[in-house]
Structure 1
Amino acid sequence: MPRARLRPVGVETPRGAPAPVRARASRRLRIVLCSLAAVLLLAAGAGAYAWHRLNANISSVELGSLLTPAASATSDLNILVVGSDSRAGKNATRAGGGDATGRSDTTLLLHVYGGRKKAAIVSIPRDTIIDRPACTTASGQKLSARQGVMFNAVYENGGARCTVAAVESLSGGLRVNHYVEVGFDGFAELIDAAGGTDVTLVKPIDDKESGLHLRAGRHHLNGQQALDLVRTRHGVGNGSDLGRIQLQHQFLTALISRMAGQSLLTDPARLFTVADAATKSLTTDSLLAHVDSLASLAYSMRGLGADSVQMVTLPAQLEQGDEDRLVPDTARAAKMWAALKADLPVPPDALTGTASGPNGIGQIVKPG
């Protein structure tokens, strides 16, 4: 008597199909399921690797009680952003630390208003003369209070800790919530990873000091060209830091417009490339030094666009007898800081009549 063929447990066979066909269907099903499981495992592994790599990219500096945590995910927020050359040559170990870490060319205070739909960017000129408060560097060195210090020397000698303390003192007590430092090399790499950026120059730029020569008209800038543009000062206006800041404001507006028009989420490979370059370029406070923290912060500000960001410069006057130095315009600066503390837009009369007012180099950079 012929032996009965057993049907594999858990496998549904097509009714009426010959036994060999049912067996082949069972094997194919198992192969498909095993292949799907392998793909899912590989995807999960790649995601974990990417997450670990991005986290490992970020350098951090411990600022402790110098920072004030935001009250909620939609409350107003103050982020101190420093552009420095301390990571030139991939030297990430000294970033933000002080004790002659490097120089800061650019310092911005990003104030995001409650609800996270509007923001103000306040530039603090590097040539501003301030009174530095007593502070402690990352290595524990104590610096005594000192009057008449040029602002960019605060970072050079005291790093992130002293820079945060100086900005809070300069602002009359506006509390900083987060610190972000962007290395110049990393900035160029980030622009390259994003595919460059398009700008239109209303006027030509001819900077013999930096070697940046751009005719008027539309340009597609790579990372190094973009970096040269935001750092140039001898090719615009009277060669002062104020002209360079106004150029930076115009470039940031163009860059925000370009980034807002890109849909990186539909291109995972490019998204990872941009995220990889961005995290490599950053030194943050320890609370932000995680991909999930940065992603959460970025998501909370997703509604910001170029038209919802107010660009301003610390109200200042030229120092008497020295046109290369600035001194804060005390009355107008106090009005600006008071508005930000109250989470209000900076009033125009806080800026007019100062060396950093709206009348300067004029429009040079427009979105491409």
Structure 2
Amino acid sequence: MTGRSTVGRRGYQAQRRRGRGSRRRVVRRSRLRILAWITAVVVVLGVTGAAALAYRLSSNIRSVDINSALDKERPAPADNGAMNILILGSDSRAEKTKTGKEPARSDTAMVVHVYTGRRQAALVSIPRDTLITRPSCTTASGAKDPGGARKMFNESYSVGGPACAVDTVERMSGLRMDHYIELDFTGFKKIIDKLGGVTVTTSKSIKDPASGLNLTAGTHTLNGTQSLGLVRTRKSVGDGSDLGRIQLQQAFVKALLAQVRQGGVLSNPARLFSLADTATKSMTTDKDLAGTAALVRFASALKDIDSSGLQALTLPVGPDTKDANRVVPLTTESRQVWEALRTDQPVPTTATARSMGDKGSTGALITP
């Protein structure tokens, strides 16, 4: 016996011809799979080893039961295969309070709408200084905060944690948040370092004494600390507001996507597992997403989205007439944004034409 298949030579060759086209498609798709490492782990380590690694990743993740925390009067889930995700970046470096505890803060908030077909997405950043009507929320101590009008958006997280943040966004948008993902900034730095840095090109020098970021115009591979400094810098770019920082964050997300796609991470099982291990240790998710199997399904749903399929914008806002340091949603334009996502359509350019958030060229400061 030679160990060959019992299929005849001609049948074998016919199978090869029929399989060539499909194999090419599989190869192209496999280069994009975020969690393709699972197959390699199973092959190399066997089912028992793979199960142990799956358990390890699952045990890393913190989760919150948002469905139980919120009332039943939530928007209905989309019935067309689309998906909405609230992503928050939390700041653990907040100032000490009088009780010695560190109040949780969210510096970054993004609603990601994944369109039907899972090849395109819209990313809507919500400025933290946006004045909104906040719903009543349950605090960490179990008390009820009444909420009310003219509350800063990022106070929702500070007051009532993830559930309050989700409730606030759902009431603003009319969109059901299918998933919640929170990444702390310490973990963000570690993830970038595990990737070997993110390469960006700056069209102008960026210097921020507060973070120690000092970049000349040109191409740089940023480590974790530099990357965090870039996405958090505010006063050193544009008009010094949170709106300019959001544009930088959106440009960095696209650079990060390009780095993951092109950097060989997806074809290196050991490196990708190390990255997944670091990422999951830094994550808090909704309960439905807090297992390795759920994360695999979730990642698989996003595998075909790259920077060219990502529409990034800021919630349309204008200046608040009573406080120059705050912004308010533009009623008509914001409704256009949320309605487009509810109906699974691209956000029209008319929605952002008057918005303070998408004027200027801060985002153009960096390119992948």
Which digits, 9 at most, give the CA deviation of each residue in 1:121-175, with x for residues without a partner?
000000111110122246533221311111111111111111111111111x211
Pairs aligned (count): 317
Change (3 A) 1:353 1:58: same
Answer yes or no: is the 8 Å Cα contact 1:351–1:357 preserved in 2: yes
Distance in structure 1 (CA, Å) of the matches to 2:115 and 2:168: 22
Structure 1 residue 358: deviation in Å? 3.8
**Paired letter, 1:60:** S
**Paired letter, 1:142:** K
Structure 1 residue 101: deviation in Å? 4.6
Change (3 A) 1:237 1:359: closer
1:148 corresponds in structure 2 to 150
Structure 1 residue 354: deviation in Å? 1.8
2:127 corresponds in structure 1 to 125
Answer yes or no: is the 8 Å Cα contact 1:138–1:161 preserved in 2: no
1:225 corresponds in structure 2 to 226
Structure 1 residue 265: deviation in Å? 4.2
Distance in structure 1 (CA, Å) of the matches to 2:159 and 2:104: 8
Change (3 A) 1:293 1:321: same
1:216 corresponds in structure 2 to 217
**After the TM superposition, which of the residue ranges 62-71 and 322-331 deviates more from structure 2?**
62-71
Distance in structure 2 (CA, Å) of the matches to 1:51 and 1:239: 44
Instruction: State the percentage of identical aligned residues.
Output: 46
2:86 corresponds in structure 1 to 80
Structure 1 residue 291: deviation in Å? 1.1
2:38 corresponds in structure 1 to none
Distance in structure 1 (CA, Å) of the matches to 2:113 and 2:102: 28
Distance in structure 2 (CA, Å) of the matches to 1:223 and 1:158: 29
1:254 corresponds in structure 2 to 255
For structure 1, list consecutive stretches of 5 or more residues without a partner in the other structure: 1-39, 90-98
Task: Output the TM-score relative to the length of structure 1.
Answer: 0.81
CA RMSD of aligned residues (A): 2.3
Task: Output the TM-score relative to the length of structure 2.
Answer: 0.81
Change (3 A) 1:322 1:41: closer
1:160 corresponds in structure 2 to 162
Higher relative CO (CA 8 A, sep ≥ 6), structure 1 or 2?
2
Structure 1 residue 76: deviation in Å? 0.4
Distance in structure 2 (CA, Å) of the matches to 1:243 and 1:365: 12
Kindly indicate whether residue 55 of structure 2 is the aligned counterpart of residue 52 of structure 1. Answer: yes
Which digits, 9 at most, give the CA deviation of each residue in 1:38-63, with x for residues without a partner?
xx996444323221111110000111
1:203 corresponds in structure 2 to 204
Which digits, 9 at most, give the CA deviation of each residue in 1:158-213, with x for residues without a partner?
11111111111111x21111111001001111111112111111111011222211
**Paired letter, 2:152:** M
2:65 corresponds in structure 1 to 62
